Amino acid sequence: MRSPSIDPMTREEKRAGISLAAIFGLRMLGLFMILPVFAVFAHTLPGGSDPALVGIALGAYGATQALFQIPFGRASDRIGRKPAIVAGLLIFAAGSFLAAAAPDIYWVIAGRVIQGAGAISAAITALAADLTREQHRTKVMALIGSSIGLMFAFSLVGAPLLYAWIGMSGIFTLTGVLALAAILLLAKAVPTPPAPPAAKPLPFSRVLLDGQLTRLNFGVLALHVMQTALWVVVPPVLVAGGLPLAEHWKIYLPALLASFAVMVPAIIAAERHNQLKPVFVAAILLLILVQVGLTQAEGTYAIGVLLMLFFVGFNIMEAMQPSLISRVAPAAAKGAAMGIYNTTQSIGLALGGVLGGWLLKHFGAAAVHGFCVALGTVWLVLAASMVPPVRPGKSST
Predicted pLDDT at 4: 45
Q: What is the CA radius of gyration of the chain?
A: 20
Predicted pLDDT at 198: 55
Give the DSSP per-residue string, 146-175: HHHHHHHHHHHHHHHHHHHHHHHHHHHHHH
Backbone angles phi, psi at 198, to 5 degrees: -65, 135
Query: What residues contact residue 36 under an 8 Å CB cut-off, 6+ apart?
Result: 155, 156, 159, 160, 231, 235, 248, 252
Ordered mean pLDDT values, 10 residues apiece, the chain (397 residues): 57 86 83 82 86 84 82 78 92 95 93 90 83 72 73 79 89 92 91 65 74 91 92 86 80 80 77 80 95 86 89 85 78 73 83 89 92 96 82 49
- Rounded CA separation 115/109 (Å): 10
Strands in the chain per DSSP E? none
All structural domains of the chain:
11-190+207-384 (1.20.1250.20)
Note if the pTM is more than 0.85. no
